Structure 1
Amino acid sequence: MILNRRRFTYRRSPSHQHEWHDSLHAFGVRADADPNLSFDSVIEAWGVGQIVFLGGDIRCLTVTPMSADESQWSSDYLFLKLVTSGSMLVDERGGVREFGPGGIVLLDPQRPYREIFPERMTGVSMRLPRRALTERGFRSTLNRAHCPDVSSPDVQSVRALIECVASQSYVPQVHVMQRLGDQLLDLMDIVLDVPPAAGRVRTAEAIVYKAKQYIERHAGDPDLRPASVAAEVCVSTKHLARLFSAQGVSLMRYVLSVRLDRAARLLTATPWHRNLVQQVAQQCGFSSASHFSHAFKQRYGIAPADVHRASEFSTPPKPSLAAQA
């Protein structure tokens, strides 16, 4: 997902207040403000792959999720909230919990709750796609607010990474943002307290997703075989082949596709030199330059040696694994 940074500020004028409420409704929430105390509250929104970040510097607000009938955000996503300064209260089923600096809570907008900000608070909210969590074998629904153990070094590391991503002022390339978003999603089992892999419900989607992750990491190995991928995800080679076939592609055809996509990006990003084709073939796991050239021309209709002379040749940004699944 590509979402340029958008900034919303609560002002005293009725026109600004109307714009504030409309903007937040687009993100599936209502924010009740105090006209005398909430002014200059600011929320910024931007995308990192499949994740939408909402960074807030807010004062004296009460935030509630919109219903699933009013916004798809409620049915399709979970929210992770991280407090960086000040405090936030979560009122759920009559019970109120307070979160101070460093506090983390995950909320399911399909369950009624209120976020109350009695004074100034800065923090980050992440919109997490339920489908992406399910693909990874993580739980994607919550019966109530979930509070990970913030004293855990693992949770602290995830929190530090979220804060780092939220604070960056530069904008990487789209494919880098997609990869970064996927890596953040891969870490959500830590804050969701998912049991070890042996105790998880292993769906077909989750197995294929993990297999694709392994292939992405090892596509440059010419000895990559179905048996090694199957061993990594703890299933038989035949079972893994059936799971890939159900998605309309064989496992090794998928490996070839990953290698060719990577090769195309390398060819367009690397200055031309005499041994470039052989070098790219080796880096992308092809057994020989001739095999690589034949497969590349079949895929793109052009020899890899001619890419640097073809001004119109381009490759799409690397898709996220979730989009491929």
Structure 2
Amino acid sequence: MTDDPNSKDNWRHDSAMKLHLDCKYESGGSAGSSLDAWSLGRLDMLDGRFMHMSLAPLADRDDSWLYLKLVTNGAMHIEQGRQARRIGPGEIVLVESSQAYRQSFGEQTDMIALRFPSHALKERGLRHALRGLITPDMSAADTRAIGELVMSIAAQRGETSAAFRYRQGDQLLELIDLLIEDPAALTRARSSDATLFRARRFIAQNLRNPELTVPLIAAAVYVSEAHLSRLFRAEGQSVMRYVWQSRLALAADMLRRGRRGERGGCSDGGRVQIGDIAYRCGFSTPAHFSRAFRERYGISPREALAANGCEAAIWFGAARTHAA
């Protein structure tokens, strides 16, 4: 980026339209700032260099994103509510966009970020509403390993295959669990809530297994099948209904990404493969997937991809509602 007004206007426009961020320039030149982005399935990876600017979520956005931000050079100052942190080289911060925050770069700063919708964690039974900024302990071996993995994937620049990147995204989502999970909260929770938490988490991590059954889930969380079924019925649905709804919500998200042509979607030569999505979401056959999808959303997977304009907006809006 150069210091001419047109370049700055373009940066502001791209920040708003692509990242839903409001960009403000500070004193000092911003030349040399840059940003690359690519998809890792349900995650977006951003690799940028920022100088003399600040970024904040747009106030009129009603979507909720979670960010993992890893500074590799320089420093970022981030504020949210009454919290303020300086994130230096090799340090990580997690922040939720539904709560106003601002990040500032007073010097040349290189940063890698992961962006993902909060419902991607909710579907996994993970905590998805952060209580302010989270700055993991970088002296912990697990945290350092996650940071090194993020940097390693960023170094690939999105040049690996779409299927490979999708698997990388799933792996990162599960590892992020180690950074945002609150063990103390689980200890304080009632045993039934903790059991439901563990069951939903196990289901989310095993949606692709076509043999995912009530006995398997109950054994994984160390309760009887009858007790597990009672817990889910108290929430208004059976265990397997929850499983199928979770699978369909995952499929809806994959179709949405495929229709937009995002890198990292399940595609081959630019064409979304319905059968591939079916198997990735744990359906035994594409025909079974299509029937269940139509029953859930009132439209077949292929019709959803072929929809245009308002039809697509209505359908994908409904899909997000069901997935939330």
Give the TM-score normalised by the residue count of structure 2. Answer: 0.64
SS of alignment partner, residue 119 of structure 1: coil
Distance 1:137 1:194, change over 3 A: farther
Match of 1:245 among 238, 241, 257: 241
Q: Which residue does 1:116 correspond to in 2?
A: 104
CA deviation vs aligned residue, 1:120-159 (integer Å, no higher than 9, x gap): 1101111122111122222212232111111111111111
Match of 2:49 among 28, 32, 57: 57
Contact kept? 1:32, 1:61, Cα under 8 Å: yes
SS of alignment partner, residue 86 of structure 2: strand
Give the TM-score normalised by the residue count of structure 1. Answer: 0.64
Distance 1:248 1:152, change over 3 A: closer
Deviating more after overlay: 186-195 vs 149-158: 186-195
Work out the CA distance in 2 between the residues paired with 1:94 and 1:213.
Answer: 35
Unaligned runs of 5+ in 2: 233-237, 248-283, 290-321
Unaligned runs of 5+ in 1: 1-9, 252-294, 301-322
- 2:16 counterpart of 1:25: yes
Q: Which residue does 2:5 correspond to in 1?
A: 14
Instruction: Give the deviation of 1:209 after TM superposition.
Output: 5.2
- RCO higher in structure (CA 8 A, sep ≥6): 2
Instruction: Give the deviation of 1:95 after TM superposition.
Output: 5.0
Work out the CA distance in 1 between the residues paired with 2:61 and 2:48.
Answer: 21
Paired residues for 1:149-164 under 5 Å = 149-164=137-152
CA deviation vs aligned residue, 1:285-307 (integer Å, no higher than 9, x gap): xxxxxxxxxx879879xxxxxxx
Contact kept? 1:61, 1:118, Cα under 8 Å: yes
CA deviation vs aligned residue, 1:108-130 (integer Å, no higher than 9, x gap): 22223221111111011111221
Distance 1:246 1:139, change over 3 A: closer
Contact kept? 2:93, 2:136, Cα under 8 Å: yes
Distance 1:210 1:80, change over 3 A: same
- 2:67 counterpart of 1:71: no
Root mean square deviation, CA, Å? 3.5
Instruction: Give the deviation of 1:97 after TM superposition.
Output: 2.2
Q: Which has the larger radius of gyration?
A: 1
Instruction: Give the deviation of 1:218 after TM superposition.
Output: 8.9
Instruction: Give the deviation of 1:94 after TM superposition.
Output: 5.5
Distance 1:298 1:44, change over 3 A: closer
Contact kept? 1:214, 1:232, Cα under 8 Å: no
Q: Which amino acid aligns with 2:42?
A: Q
